[in-house]
């Protein structure tokens, strides 16, 4: 079986490499020429642990190629995974589905007989049925090509593991179209017991957005509790630990802090609201507006805390932001809470210096006015305030005595509740953390 992957960003590049690792011949197709050239050279254009060696292996053994020729890929492969972006529209909550439409339009007229188009991008409910009709209207006569939806649940930072060992495989289809083909593609995971759920197109689309809505809600729930703790003297870390022991609640996604960001959760909960409003279901997911607001308020609270710790004056103070990526083990800065806080402090006149182990270049492209330094020690030298905003493991294990000997003022905001507070306080630091009071 030959496979094409359309769109080779965080999702598509990973999927293409993993399909090659499973033994298929794969072509990755992208409209971004520079991305294609880098992938052809065996370079991953973003940071994802473990991905580059596997990419190199399969580029070198010839199983994996990259191209910008969608028409050629359409005629060559049997299965086409559509992994293009569905970003939030400018000045609207809704998702821009024009890239998935372009991908389907580009593939349809050139598909080989019996080809299967498999959507993986996250789309508003109803998109897949519309795309299936669009595809059927454009395929050559008697081609019998069709479209199904197979949402993706991978986590950046764990993308290889999640693709090779998914916790479930969901296939949205009509009847059993494409089911046997996808069972063949995912045979390895199925043999090791991964649940394989066949649903209608709409349910498959909804599984993805509902999962992200649930996770975002859980994060904002504990962050709302942070606000209550801050006002009442409670400690959100102790609260979350106690809640997490309840099996019905569980401790995962209950880490209070600066909240969520990235290329998925924020835009997915907004697109879900927009879609429900279109459907006249204004009340059904109205709570997601509050989930989003709680999340945004954590950023404002972190900026306010920085002000407070600097005695109300941010201007010309050396403020060191540790982290720019939206989460550790990724260089993704899309809607990054850390970078947002850094920008806001810079706009208030702060002398803001950012250090991130992997995300400097993407962050510089997004926020070019900030100062970025490659070395952690160089970053904190002379600092008036440190803000730990992305919980990279190297920040968790910083030695408060060593760091303390280099800064101007021993003041730190732990925006992710990951530092051992007593240790830092013993070393003479004034430490403030979200949801934990003074
Ligand atoms: P991305 O922006 O990193 O990648 C999208 C790629 O598609 C880009 O390289 C772009 O150049 C390419 N592209 C756009 N139009 C194209 C076209 N017509 N033909 C070929 N290539 C085209 O985005 P991403 O993070 O990989 O996300 C892609 C989709 O997957 C989104 O719908 C997202 O919500 C979903 N998703 C992402 C993740 C994740 O962790 N990043 C996880 C699950 C689902």
Q: What is the pLDDT of residues 296-333, one digit of tens each?
A: 999 999 999 999 999 999 999 999 999 999 999 999 99
Structural domain including 117 reads 2-199
Phi, psi of 58 (to 5 degrees): -85, -20
- Atom 12 of ligand 1: nearest residue by CA position: 7
Asked whether 152 lines ligand 1 (CB < 6 A), one says yes
152 to 36, 307, 329, 391, 427: CA distances (angstroms): 22, 40, 19, 25, 45
Looking up residue 242, the CATH number of its domain turns out to be 1.10.1040.10
Domain match, 111 and 184 both:
yes
**Is residue 243 very low, low, confident or very high in pLDDT (cuts 50, 70, 90)?**
very high
Of 165, 199, 233, the residue at which a domain comes to its end is: 199
Domain match, 146 and 52 both:
yes
Domain match, 34 and 182 both:
yes
Contact of 356 with 392, CB cutoff 8 Å? yes
CA proximity to 29, closest of 51, 50, 9, 48? 9
Domain match, 225 and 337 both:
no
Question: Which ligand 1 atom sits nearest the alpha carbon of residue 151?
Answer: 44
Mutate to test the pocket of ligand 1, among 84, 118, 336 (most ligand atoms within 8 A of CB): 84
The DSSP H or E segment spanning 52 is: helix 51-60
**Is residue 57 very low, low, confident or very high in pLDDT (cuts 50, 70, 90)?**
very high
Of 257, 292, 327, the residue at which a domain comes to its end is: 292
87 within domain boundaries: yes
The answer to whether residue 438 scores a pLDDT higher than 90 is: no
Mutate to test the pocket of ligand 1, among 30, 265, 266 (most ligand atoms within 8 A of CB): 30
Residue 6 β-bridge partners = 29, 82
* Per-residue confidence (pLDDT) for residue 52, from 0 to 100: 98
Mean pLDDT of 358-365: 98
Domain match, 325 and 401 both:
yes
- Atom 30 of ligand 1: nearest residue by CA position: 121
Looking up residue 423, the CATH number of its domain turns out to be 3.40.50.720
Domain match, 302 and 288 both:
no
- DSSP string covering 191-238: HTT--EEEE-HHHHHHHHHHHHHHHHHHHHHHHHHHHHHHHHT--HHH
* Per-residue confidence (pLDDT) for residue 352, from 0 to 100: 98
438 within domain boundaries: no
> For 132-176, what is each residue's pLDDT tens digit?
999 999 999 999 999 999 999 999 999 999 999 999 999 999 999
Domain match, 19 and 164 both:
yes
- Rounded to whole angstroms, the Cα distance separating 386 from 379 reads 9
Nearest 5°: the CA angle 303, 92, 33 is 90
Of 271, 292, 313, the residue at which a domain comes to its end is: 292
Asked whether 415 lines ligand 1 (CB < 6 A), one says no
Give the gyration radius of the chain's Cα atoms: 23
**Is residue 272 very low, low, confident or very high in pLDDT (cuts 50, 70, 90)?**
very high
358 within domain boundaries: yes
What is the average pLDDT value for the chain, to the nearest integer?
97
Asked whether 5 lines ligand 1 (CB < 6 A), one says no
44 within domain boundaries: yes
Question: Which ligand 1 atom sits nearest the alpha carbon of residue 123?
Answer: 32
Q: Which residues are annotated as catalytic?
A: 264
Asked whether 331 lines ligand 1 (CB < 6 A), one says no
Mean pLDDT of 279-291: 97
Domain match, 96 and 192 both:
yes
> For 207-236, what is each residue's pLDDT tens digit?
999 999 999 999 999 999 999 999 999 999
Query: Ligand 1 center to residue 405 CA distance, Å?
Result: 44
Domain match, 186 and 219 both:
no
* Per-residue confidence (pLDDT) for residue 153, from 0 to 100: 98
């Amino acid at each position: 079986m030959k496979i094409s992957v359309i769109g080779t960003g965080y999702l598509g590049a990973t999927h293409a490499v993993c399909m090659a690792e499973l033994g298929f011949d794969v072509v990755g197709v992208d409209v971004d020429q520079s991305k294609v050239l880098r992938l052809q050279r065996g370079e991953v254009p973003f940071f994802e642990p473990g991905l580059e060696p596997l990419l190199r292996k399969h580029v070198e053994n010839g199983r994996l190629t990259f191209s910008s020729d969608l028409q050629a890929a359409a005629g060559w492969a049997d299965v086409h995974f559509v992994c293009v972006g569905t970003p939030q529209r400018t000045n609207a909550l809704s998702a821009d589905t024009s890239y998935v439409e372009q991908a389907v339009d580009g593939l349809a007229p050139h598909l080989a007989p019996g080809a299967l188009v498999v959507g993986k991008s996250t789309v508003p409910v109803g998109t897949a049925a519309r795309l299936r009709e669009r595809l059927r209207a454009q395929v050559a006569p008697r081609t019998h090509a069709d479209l199904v939806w197979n949402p993706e649940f991978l986590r950046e930072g764990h993308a290889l593991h999640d693709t090779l060992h998914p916790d479930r495989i969901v296939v949205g289809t009509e009847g059993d179209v494409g089911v046997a083909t996808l069972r063949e593609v995912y045979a390895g995971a199925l043999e090791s017991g991964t649940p394989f759920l066949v649903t209608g197109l709409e349910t498959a689309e909804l599984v993805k957005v509902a999962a992200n809505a649930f996770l975002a809600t859980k994060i904002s729930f504990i962050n709302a509790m942070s606000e209550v703790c801050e006002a009442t003297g409670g400690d959100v870390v102790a609260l979350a630990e106690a809640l997490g022991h309840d099996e019905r609640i569980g401790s995962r996604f209950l880490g209070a802090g600066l909240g969520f960001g990235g290329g998925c959760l924020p835009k997915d909960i907004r697109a879900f609201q927009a879609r429900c409003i279109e459907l006249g279901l204004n009340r059904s997911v109205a709570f997601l507006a509050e989930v989003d607001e709680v999340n945004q308020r954590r950023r404002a609270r972190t900026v306010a805390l920085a002000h407070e710790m600097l005695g109300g004056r941010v201007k010309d103070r050396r403020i060191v932001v540790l982290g720019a990526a939206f989460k550790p083990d990724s260089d993704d800065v899309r809607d990054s809470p850390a970078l947002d806080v850094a920008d806001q402090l810079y706009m208030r006149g702060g002398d803001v210096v950012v250090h991130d182990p992997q995300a400097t270049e993407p962050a510089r492209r997004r926020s070019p006015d900030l100062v970025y330094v490659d070395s952690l020690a160089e970053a904190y030298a002379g600092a008036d305030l440190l803000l730990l905003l992305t919980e990279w493991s190297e920040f968790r294990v910083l030695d408060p005595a060593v760091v303390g000997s280099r800064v101007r003022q021993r003041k730190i905001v732990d925006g992710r509740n990951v530092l051992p507070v007593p240790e830092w306080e013993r070393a003479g630091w004034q430490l403030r953390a979200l949801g934990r009071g003074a």
